[in-house]
Amino acid sequence: MNFLGITGMQYSGVPFSAHRIILAEDTNVFTQLVSTRLMDMLGVQVTICRNFEELQEAYDAADGPIDLAISNINLPGAENGEALEYLIDLSVPTIVFTSTFHEATREKLIAKDVVDYIIKDNVFAVDMLTESVCRFLTNSRHHVLIVDDSPTARALLSSRLKRYNFRVSLAESGAKALQLLKDNPDIGLVVTDYNMPDIDGFELTRRIRTMRGSHELRVIGVSSSTNRLLSARFLKAGGNDFMLRPFIDEEFYCRVNQNLDTLVQIRMAKIGRAA
C-alpha cells in the first residue's frame, strides 16, 4: 500500500529511526504484525508491552520522551481502561488500536483527545494503523494557519491540530493572517472563518491567491452559517475546501489530510520532473 504520509517522509528526507514508540497490546498476532510493519515501512522500532506493568516499566525506563503510544483499551492488569488513562495522564500522544468499539466508546476516546482510533475488524487494520503513525510523525513538518476573530474558535481548532502534531499559527484578523503568510512562507494550509470584522473569509482568500497559488497553499473555509451557498462562494474565491461548524473530529482531520496530501503530491511531481 502506498501511503501519502510515507511519500511525505521520503520528500523531506527525515528518518523515523530516532522516534520512541510504545505498543501496548497483549495479542501476539497483532504485536508481531504491527511491530514488523512499522519497522519495514517506517524503519522505527517499537517497545512492546503486553500488560500494564510492562507499560509502566517501559515508560519509567525511557531515556527521553515517548513520541507516540499505540494502545489497546484493555490490557492484562488494566482491564478497565487504566492503561489508556495512564498514557493520557502522562500526556503521551496515543493511537487506540482496539477490537471493542461502539458509539459510546468513540465519544469517550474523542473526549480524551486521543490522536486516532483504529478498529481491528478487517485485514487492512494494520495498514491503517501504519498510515496513522506515519501521519502523526510527519505532521510536524506541516505549518497550519488558523484565522478566526473568536478566541474560543481559535483555541478549539488549535488544540485539535496540535493533538495531531501539526505546527500551528494563529491570526485574529485577515490583516494579521496576510502578515503571517508574508513572514512564514512555509505555511501550507490556511483554515479561515468566513465572518470576520476587517476582511471576510472570501476577500482574505482572494488576497491570498494573489500571493500564493493553490499548488503552494491550500485554503479551507469554515463557517457556522446555515447558508449553503457559502461553500460555492469560497471555492469561487480560490478556496480548496469548506466545512460547516460544528465539526466532526474525524471529518475535520480527514479534510486537512486530503489537502496536505495534495501539496505533497504536487511537490513530489515537481521533484520528479526536475530529476
Q: How many CB atoms lie within 10 A of CB 95?
A: 20
List Cβ neighbours of 112 (8 Å cut-off, separation of 6 or more): 84, 88
Crossing angle of helices 174-183 and 201-211, in 10° steps, is 20
pLDDT averaged over every residue in the chain: 91
> Mean pLDDT across the stretch 48-70?
96
Are residues 175 and 220 both part of a single domain?
yes
What is the rounded distance in angstroms from the CA atom of residue 247 to the CA atom of residue 253?
10
Residue 57 domain boundaries: 14-138
pLDDT per position as a tens digit, 154-184: 999 999 999 999 999 999 999 999 999 999 9
Residues 69 and 144 in one domain: no
Q: Which of 110, 138, 166 is at the close of a domain?
A: 138
Cell of 168: 500551528
Q: In this structure, what DSSP letter does residue 99 have?
A: S
The 3-state DSSP composition of the chain as helix, strand, coil percent (nearest 5) reads 50, 20, 35
The span from the CA of 97 to the CA of 46, in Å, is 15
Looking at the structure, tell me whether residues 114 and 239 fall in a common domain. no
Q: pTM surpassing 0.95?
A: no
**Residue 69 near residue 93, CB atoms below 8 Å:** yes
Quick one: CA torsion of 257, 261, 262, 266, rounded to 10 degrees? Answer: 160
Q: Total domain count for the chain?
A: 2
Whether residue 5 lies inside any domain: the answer is: no
Under the banding of pLDDT at 50, 70 and 90, the label for residue 5 is very low
Instruction: Compute the distance between CA of residue 51 and CA of residue 175 in angstroms, rounded to an integer.
Output: 53
Q: 129 and 148 share a domain?
A: no
Q: What is the pLDDT of residue 12?
A: 46
Residue 29 scores a pLDDT above 50: yes
pLDDT tens-digit readout, 210-254: 999 999 999 999 999 888 889 999 999 999 999 999 989 999 999
| Residue-wise pLDDT tens digits, 93-130 | 999 998 878 889 999 999 999 999 999 888 789 999 99
Query: Taking Cα atoms as reference points, which of 268, 226, 264, 29 lies closest to residue 135?
Result: 264
Alpha helices in the chain (DSSP H): 4-12, 28-42, 52-61, 82-89, 103-111, 125-139, 151-163, 174-183, 201-211, 229-237, 249-274
Round to whole Å and give the CA distance between 255 and 248: 11
| Confidence tier at 11 by pLDDT (50, 70, 90) | very low
Q: Let me know whether 87 and 45 are in one domain.
A: yes
User: What is the residue whose three cell numbers read 520532473?
Assistant: 273
What is the rounded CA–CA span in Å between residue 1 and residue 242?
29
Length of the chain: 275
Show which of 111, 138, 165 is a domain's final residue: 138
Residue 9 has pLDDT above 80, yes or no: no
Q: Can you give the CATH number for the domain in which 160 is found?
A: 3.40.50.2300
A 10 A CB-CB count for 36 gives: 12
Last residue of a domain, one of 138, 158, 189: 138
Strand partners, 16: none
DSSP 102: -
